[in-house]
Amino acid sequence: MTCTFVFFFLLCLVGVFDVESHEVSVMIGDSVTLDYNASEMERKNEIEWRFDDIRIANVLMGNPTYDNNARFKDRLKMDRNGSLTIKDTIITDTGVYKLTTIISNKESINIFRVTVYAPLTIPVVTSDISQCSLGSKCSLLCSVVNVRHVTLSWYKGNSLLSNISVSELSISLSLPLEVEYQDKNTYSCVINNPISNQTKHVCITDLCRLCSVASSDEVRYGGGTEAVIRLVVTALVGLAAVAAFIVLVYDIRSRRVEQETHQ
């Protein structure tokens, strides 16, 4: 609470009069420029860049200098207008960049929230025969690994069926889908982030062929597990009947022997 009060008190003293925020996305390995066009008055004063509150570069009287920061070694370039270029971006360049300019002791602040994205791989789609249901259902699973800031989605044609998103690094991300194994519609699994996407189109007939065979066998042989249970019960009933018949015959013979002994 005290730190917050002091921060706003200092802002009032300095006289911050402008704060702008920008969202910037870039693919890993590419260069990105955080654009700014400083006025003549701003160029006569100091223009400063910070990354996560650590100063990384500044322009004073038109001369750019760079702080000794191992994270950005030889990858920063700043022009006299204040624009900052980051070359050969890496994942750890993701973060908040703050540009501060001063005119007549009043600060103008521009915030650039930069996100560096890794290349996306094509999703992998598999069918799970253990989840095949009697009748006509087939269970599909779409999966990707080692991803962050992505959304994984199932589409039927152009219609969104379901999706799941992750922001932090995820070792594995999966999304299930249950379909009719004789469905002739076009399905696809799509992974995307704000600057790229990858799509895996699905042939239901090929992926669900095993489910089709399994379901046909269940019907042909009496419904799989249910049929086996019925068979076992029938066998047990038959054995019980045979046992009862044997006991009855033995009892009849025993009585005959007993009668002959008495006579």
Of 25, 66, 37, 73, the residue nearest 49 (C-alpha) = 66
pLDDT value of position 155: 96
Separation of alpha carbons 216 and 214, rounded Å: 5
Q: Domain segments of the chain: what residues?
A: 2-117, 124-220
* Rounded Cα gap, residues 78 and 236, in angstroms: 87
- Please, what is the Cα angle at 115 between 113 and 120, to 5 degrees? 160
* One pLDDT digit (tens) per residue for the chain, 263 residues: 444 444 444 444 444 456 788 999 999 999 999 999 877 777 777 889 999 889 999 887 777 888 877 889 889 998 888 899 999 999 999 999 999 987 777 788 999 999 999 899 999 999 876 666 555 778 899 999 988 889 999 999 999 999 999 988 878 899 999 988 778 888 999 999 999 999 999 988 888 876 655 555 444 444 445 555 666 667 676 677 767 767 666 666 666 656 666 65
CATH topology of domain 124-220: Immunoglobulin-like (2.60.40)
Same fold, 2-117 and 124-220: yes
Identify whether the C-beta of residue 48 lies closer than 8 Å to the C-beta of residue 56: no
CB atoms within 10 A of CB 118: 18
pTM of the full structure: 0.65
Report how far residue 72's alpha carbon sits from residue 89's, in angstroms, rounded to the nearest whole number: 9
Predicted confidence at residue 4, as pLDDT, reads: 40
What does the alpha-carbon distance between residue 204 and residue 159 come to, in Å, rounded to a whole number?
17
Residue type, 128: D
**First and final C-alpha spacing in the chain:** 114
Whether 43 contacts 81, CB under 8 Å: yes
Say which DSSP state 123 is in. P
Q: What is the pLDDT of residue 152?
A: 96
The architecture in CATH of the region 2-117 reads Sandwich (2.60)
Q: Cα(23)–Cα(96) distance, rounded to whole angstroms?
A: 10
**Backbone φ and ψ of 56, nearest 5°:** -120, -25
List pLDDT tens digits, range 170-204. Answer: 788 999 999 887 788 889 999 999 999 999 999 88
For the CA atoms of 201, 205, 210, 211, what is the dihedral angle to 10 degrees?
100
Q: Which residues of 195-232 are buried (b: 16+ CB within 10 A; e: fewer)?
A: eeebebebebeebbeebbebbeebeeeeeeeeeeeeee
Which positions ≥6 away from 14 have C-beta within 8 Å? 105, 106, 107
